Structure 1
Amino acid sequence: MFAVRTWVRGTWFVPVVSGILILASFAVERLAGGAWNAALGPKWWVDAGEHAHGSGHVFTFANALMLAAAIVAGYGIVVKAVRAVLVKFISIDLLVSIAAIGATVIGNFWEAAAVTFLFAVGHALESGTMNRTRSALAALVAVAPDTAVVLRDGDQIEVPAHQVRMGEIVLVKNGAKVPVDGQVVAGAGAIDEASITGESIPVEKTKSDHVFAGTISRSGLLQVLATGIGADTTLARIIHRVEEAQDAKARTQAFIDRFSKWYTPAVMVLALAAGLLTGDIVLALTLLVIGCPGALVISIPVAIVAGIGRSARNGILIKGGEYLETSAKISAVAVDKTGTLTEGRPVLTDIVVLAPALARTDVLRWAAAAEAGSEHPLARPILDTAREEGVAPEGIPGVVTPVVGKGIAADVDGTQVLVGNAPLLTQYGITDDAGSAAVADELAADGKTPMIVAVGGTVIGVIGVADTIREDAPEMIRRLHAAGVEQVVMLTGDTRRVAEAIGRTVGIDEIQASLLPEDKLDAVARLQREGHTVAMVGDGVNDAPALATADIGVAMGAAGSAVAVETADIALMGDDLLKLPEAIRLAKRTVSVMRQNIVIALATVALLLVGVFGGGVTMALGMLVHEGSVLVVILNAMRLLRQT
């Protein structure tokens, strides 16, 4: 019984019933002949036109069935049209309603039934195919876990996923979905993160690693500390983001909406003028039907929904239709070096001693003592090496003064320690008698970041730190160029020698080094002044001004950052550089489909108009072609869902 009620309320109930009545009308007319008509009793006359299947002015039983079909299919259309008029909006439903009612009044019951039936079928097909284009979102919702196994008082208890409490330990067994965002506290296993990052290869997880709700365990047993539950999980944020993005309008769509607002009344005026000038009511009603801008109205949103859905399935979140269109125009990409072109995990590679009385460990100890109070990413490899070699500092220095773009100055047990570049020495009035600048240049030429160490006003050595270049960085540059990007620019706060060494390796077009955050902003603005549509890839902290200024701000590895998921114009959920050219390529494909759909919609209306005035296009045929064009633009957009 429930299934029957569901079907009755579904989109196909009305067209099916209407279609049955139309077939019944044909059957009565063809098989029963005049017997059924005689049974009807007195004949009802109409003013003009033809009845369902031939000439004449008699209202027959077959016509009654055809009229019933028109009423069944047209009732909902008329209701929608009236509601739209009440809010001062002239909708497509109004055009169809007027055409169907007019056809009924002049006795063209077949035309009335055909127009409303085809419109209802088109609406049902449109709903079904639109749902298909949202399949990526449906797939995301489907991966949401239903249950979780938690440890409570030493016992394993299965509870609904939404009932897991923050801070609880959740068990993730082989084959199970991870029910929460959390941190592994014990165990090891492989997790399939395709639903979040788009990567199909499982990722090994051990203690301290992060896992995400909706991912699937492929091996092992993990104990996970819940840090994000329910709506606070990365998966929930992605679903919310994709929902908003698929409903957001592109600039082209906004234009089409404004165009349709004036186009639909214009069709009504044209139909009225044609009817008055020719005295042909059927011509006027036919113009109403074939002038419906249905395909035009649906052409843009269906492409946006499909494009954004396809990108989400690949671990690429695009903020909305406007950003999708802008991404298709990207001609310059600005990238930060650290963490984008490089792994973002620098290691200490060189310690050059310049003070004859000191040893290698002395230089390392002083540098580590100063860096203990620094938040700079390059402080970590120095401290890690000092710990490994047994000279790690105890506590933190008394005063640490960061000098933007130059390094740090620290007070270590009453002694001034500087760690930074040559301009830092100049600022503090220290003479480079030991030749540290030349050593720093040598290290920089090898792609290493040099840091000069000065203690008590004397240079004692130079430390070299290097960050490994990502294996896929050169391929990303190549694919960006293949996707139509003219310039790939490196914007980095590192020295020019280091930047040039890395730039040569990966194939960067332009290098801008030794930049402060505001300098990166200026660099992006300059590219825009040169006529480029600029995408900026950065970490969202030091690069925040440049990201905000760029036409498209791109966040990489956004799965672990709620802020990035919500705010970035494009959020690459994984840490895969190749997702960036993929996003641009998909944006270009989507915009191309949007343009194709607009051409299909306008060409269909133009050809139908020619057919109407040239003869041969009836209301029923016009509606059939109109609904066909709607399906064509939807099916064209659905090509975006296919893997390429």
Structure 2
Amino acid sequence: MSRLTKAQIVSSSGILAALAFVLKRLVGYEPVTIVLMLAATVIAGVPIFKKAFGALRYRIVGIDVLVAIAVTGAVIIGEYWEAAAVTFLFMLGDYLESRTIEKTRSSIRTLMDLAPDTARIRRAGVETVLPPEEVVQGDFVVVKPGEKIAVDGTVVEGSAYINQAAITGESIPVSRGMEETVFSGTIIESGYLVIRADRVGGDTTFARILHMVEEAQDKKAKTQKSLEKFSRWYTPAIILLSVVLFFVTKDIRLALTLLVISCPGALVISTPVSIVAGIGNGAKHGVLIKGGEIIEKLGTVRAAAFDKTGTLTEGRPGVTRVKAWRTGEDELLRIAAIGESYSEHPLGKAIIAEAEKRLGVATKPPESAQIITGRGLAFIFEGQEYYIGNRKLFTSEGIGFSEYEEYLESEEEKGQTAVIVGTKEGVCGIISIADNVRADAAALVSDLRSQGLRRVVMLTGDNRRAAKAVADAAGLDDYYSELLPEDKVKTLAELQEKHGTVAMVGDGVNDAPALASADIGVAIGGAGTDVAMETADVVLLSSDIRKLSYAVGLSRATVGNIRQNIVFALIVVAILLMGVLVKTVNMSLGMLVHEGSVLLVILNAMRLMGYGKAKNMNAR
């Protein structure tokens, strides 16, 4: 019996129950009819009783216990048909439920199917095909058209168009060439690449996304936890109520029927099945939501705070002007690039890129360097101490710059970020840098307002004028400029007090404190970024900023779906209860309606898997 699959149990008990029903109609309760009914009850009932006893060992009184008690009572009082019908319908419902729930996990299965099966490795000039888990860091992986990339790595040879849908949710191929990064699980559509393996096995972005999505689908929402607590008290209470009803009415059939129809199956499953479907949909579209509680909370967001650089802006700032006073422009740029070689800040990268473009040489590292958070950096080169940063840095170091204030203001009025370069003796020059506002930033802000957000603001360490230019272009409600990381945390607390649930949106690299302190931390373009994946509650794996409005809409659709399921489950229980009390619902009919309600709840949750399809079709 234990070797029978769930499908075999359902089919065999169903055939026996059907034969018993026909004989019952033709010849009545003859011994052969009763034997068939009992055989159907035993085949379908054994798994139910096993689960019931297993649960009782851990002092859990669940749905299986209710059904087991009802079936035992039905056999004792001679209601063999009711016992057979109830056990068969319960197992049929359980089988259909498990099959249907598998479909809600289709997104995670789709991701798993995208996992690479093999990797072609070039070692000592010889190409060998290996399982991905045997690739080691530093190996050279050769990938041809139509093949999956098996590692996270850097392109060292060739160029190709790559489908990154498995990572970012975007099906439009992207071009990748020398020194650019590629991800495991993506597919080369055309071209040819040789990739140096930087991350392999479980450390790849694809493996980590897969692991996080699996974990997220198992993390319970607050509503689910509340319903589970409710069911722990509800089920024993129903048993007690059935006992009281029997003593009051002396009607054992009525008491047993109450046990069957009161099974809270639809209520218990109402939340987790919606959460699984919602998180799976998000994963399929490049939105990683880390659990049920997060998807519920995201649906209640009333204000959003954005970082500027790399979030509302493209994150690819470029040098627009170099103004030198105490040295030549090229020398100023060279010195600044040497200092910024120690920094990972986007503005520093822009300076380095401009120096290499103008001077045609790679930057040298400084002799020593120190990043001064929120202000800039100090470094020593050829025995001279230099400073690169904003007004706060030069004020704190006691370096006067008042005579350059008018120039600074004129650049900032144009939306430029002015980076001051100098020594203890004074300012050497100013480098102006501009970072274009994302083309879809204003559309995102409009989307968020239409979804009910009361306040959309920007938090940045940049100067007031540059911040204002970006805020105006994006259509924000307000902006907070010249903030240190701790200032961002403080501002978020004020927003939470005024508006309720607040989401902080950043690039995940230098926004970790703010992302962690907000109610919901959202990282933009987090594919391959350790900090983003670990710190943020929601990771938008591509740089498409409008995925945020998709995530908010999906979360609200999920919360709405959960409420629909709960209300429906409660209505069904109430109707069945009334039917039992007026003696119009028997055990088998009650079980049929109960299992039907469970399936309807699951099917309703499955609608979340299609969320966004109409929008995507219209976009095409």
Q: Which TM-score tier does this pair reach, normalised by the shorter chain?
A: over 0.9
1:42 alignment counterpart:
none
| Deviates further, 306-315 or 61-70 | 61-70
Letter in 1 for 2:133: H
1:500 alignment counterpart:
468
From 596, 604, 612, the equivalent of 1:636 is 604
Is contact 1:334–1:534 with CA below 8 Å preserved after alignment? yes
Q: Structure 1's 501 and 278: CA in aligned 2 closer, same or farther, altered over 3 A?
A: same
User: 1:163-196: per-residue Cα shift (whole Å, max 9, x none)?
Assistant: 2232221111111111222221101111111011
1:605 aligns with 2:573: yes
Compute the displacement of 1:362 (Å): 4.9
1:382 aligns with 2:377: no
The percentage of aligned residue pairs carrying the same residue is: 48
2:618 alignment counterpart:
none
Q: Structure 1's 9 and 573: CA in aligned 2 closer, same or farther, altered over 3 A?
A: farther
From 160, 165, 174, the equivalent of 1:203 is 174
From 95, 100, 105, the equivalent of 2:71 is 100
1:299 aligns with 2:255: no
1:80 alignment counterpart:
51
Compute the displacement of 1:9 (Å): 3.9
User: 1:26-69: per-residue Cα shift (whole Å, max 9, x none)?
Assistant: 333455x4xxxxxxxxxxxxxxxxxxx5xxxx653112211211
From 503, 512, 515, the equivalent of 1:544 is 512
1:23 alignment counterpart:
18
Is contact 1:294–1:630 with CA below 8 Å preserved after alignment? yes
2:554 alignment counterpart:
586
Query: Residues of 2 paired with 1:586 and 1:284: CA distance?
Result: 43
Letter in 2 for 1:384: A
Letter in 1 for 2:314: E
Count of aligned positions: 612
Letter in 2 for 1:607: I
Query: Residues of 2 paired with 1:406 and 1:554: CA distance?
Result: 25
User: 1:365-412: per-residue Cα shift (whole Å, max 9, x none)?
Assistant: 454455455554322322332333339697445554544444444455
Matched ranges for 1:59-74 at <5 A:
59-74=30-45
Query: Secondary structure of 2:271's match?
Result: helix
Query: Residues of 2 paired with 1:426 and 1:568: CA distance?
Result: 34
Letter in 1 for 2:590: G
Is contact 2:339–2:378 with CA below 8 Å preserved after alignment? yes
Letter in 2 for 1:83: G
Is contact 2:152–2:200 with CA below 8 Å preserved after alignment? yes
Letter in 2 for 1:189: A
User: 1:289-334: per-residue Cα shift (whole Å, max 9, x none)?
Assistant: 1110011111111111111111111111111111111111111111
Q: Structure 1's 219 and 253: CA in aligned 2 closer, same or farther, altered over 3 A?
A: same
1:14 aligns with 2:9: yes
Query: Residues of 2 paired with 1:231 and 1:399: CA distance?
Result: 36
Q: Structure 1's 104 and 559: CA in aligned 2 closer, same or farther, altered over 3 A?
A: same
From 466, 471, 478, the equivalent of 1:510 is 478
Which stretches in structure 2 are left out of the alignment for 5+ residues?
613-620
1:110 aligns with 2:81: yes
Compute the displacement of 1:130 (Å): 0.8
From 353, 364, 371, the equivalent of 2:333 is 364
1:419 aligns with 2:427: no
Q: Structure 1's 502 and 78: CA in aligned 2 closer, same or farther, altered over 3 A?
A: same
Query: Residues of 1 paired with 2:320 and 2:224: CA distance?
Result: 54
Query: Secondary structure of 1:343's match?
Result: coil
Compute the displacement of 1:363 (Å): 4.2
Q: Structure 1's 464 and 85: CA in aligned 2 closer, same or farther, altered over 3 A?
A: same
Q: Structure 1's 213 and 430: CA in aligned 2 closer, same or farther, altered over 3 A?
A: closer
User: 1:582-625: per-residue Cα shift (whole Å, max 9, x none)?
Assistant: 11111111111111111111110000111111221111111111
Query: Residues of 1 paired with 2:545 and 2:260: CA distance?
Result: 50
Q: Structure 1's 137 and 25: CA in aligned 2 closer, same or farther, altered over 3 A?
A: same
1:331 alignment counterpart:
302
1:439 aligns with 2:407: yes
1:49 alignment counterpart:
none
Query: Residues of 1 paired with 2:355 and 2:484: CA distance?
Result: 29
Query: Residues of 1 paired with 2:129 and 2:363: CA distance?
Result: 46
From 132, 142, 158, the equivalent of 1:171 is 142
Compute the displacement of 1:442 (Å): 1.2
Is contact 1:365–1:393 with CA below 8 Å preserved after alignment? no
Letter in 2 for 1:585: G
Query: Residues of 1 paired with 2:31 and 2:334: CA distance?
Result: 104
From 177, 197, 214, the equivalent of 1:243 is 214
Query: Residues of 1 paired with 2:325 and 2:181: CA distance?
Result: 43
Query: Residues of 1 paired with 2:422 and 2:534: CA distance?
Result: 44
1:44 alignment counterpart:
none
1:487 aligns with 2:482: no
Is contact 2:288–2:538 with CA below 8 Å preserved after alignment? yes
Query: Residues of 1 paired with 2:239 and 2:518: CA distance?
Result: 44
Query: Secondary structure of 2:482's match?
Result: coil
Is contact 2:509–2:531 with CA below 8 Å preserved after alignment? no
Compute the displacement of 1:462 (Å): 2.6
User: TM-score, length-normalised on structure 1?
Assistant: 0.90
Q: Structure 1's 565 and 399: CA in aligned 2 closer, same or farther, altered over 3 A?
A: closer
User: 1:242-296: per-residue Cα shift (whole Å, max 9, x none)?
Assistant: 1111111111111100000000011111111111111111100110011100111
Q: Structure 1's 508 and 81: CA in aligned 2 closer, same or farther, altered over 3 A?
A: same
Query: Residues of 2 paired with 1:345 and 1:230: CA distance?
Result: 31
Query: Residues of 1 paired with 2:539 and 2:557: CA distance?
Result: 19
Letter in 1 for 2:23: V
Letter in 1 for 2:445: I
Query: Secondary structure of 1:559's match?
Result: coil
Query: Residues of 1 paired with 2:53 and 2:359: CA distance?
Result: 82
| Deviates further, 282-291 or 609-618 | 609-618
Is contact 1:115–1:623 with CA below 8 Å preserved after alignment? yes
Query: Residues of 2 paired with 1:423 and 1:178: CA distance?
Result: 46
Query: Residues of 1 paired with 2:256 and 2:532: CA distance?
Result: 53
User: 1:562-600: per-residue Cα shift (whole Å, max 9, x none)?
Assistant: 443344211111111011111111111111111111111
Q: Structure 1's 217 and 370: CA in aligned 2 closer, same or farther, altered over 3 A?
A: closer
Letter in 1 for 2:438: R
Compute the displacement of 1:531 (Å): 4.0
Query: Residues of 2 paired with 1:467 and 1:211: CA distance?
Result: 25
Query: Residues of 2 paired with 1:75 and 1:304: CA distance?
Result: 31
Q: Structure 1's 280 and 375: CA in aligned 2 closer, same or farther, altered over 3 A?
A: closer
Query: Residues of 1 paired with 2:582 and 2:211: CA distance?
Result: 51
Query: Residues of 2 paired with 1:400 and 1:150: CA distance?
Result: 40
Letter in 2 for 1:452: I
Query: Residues of 1 paired with 2:216 and 2:387: CA distance?
Result: 49
Larger radius of gyration: 1
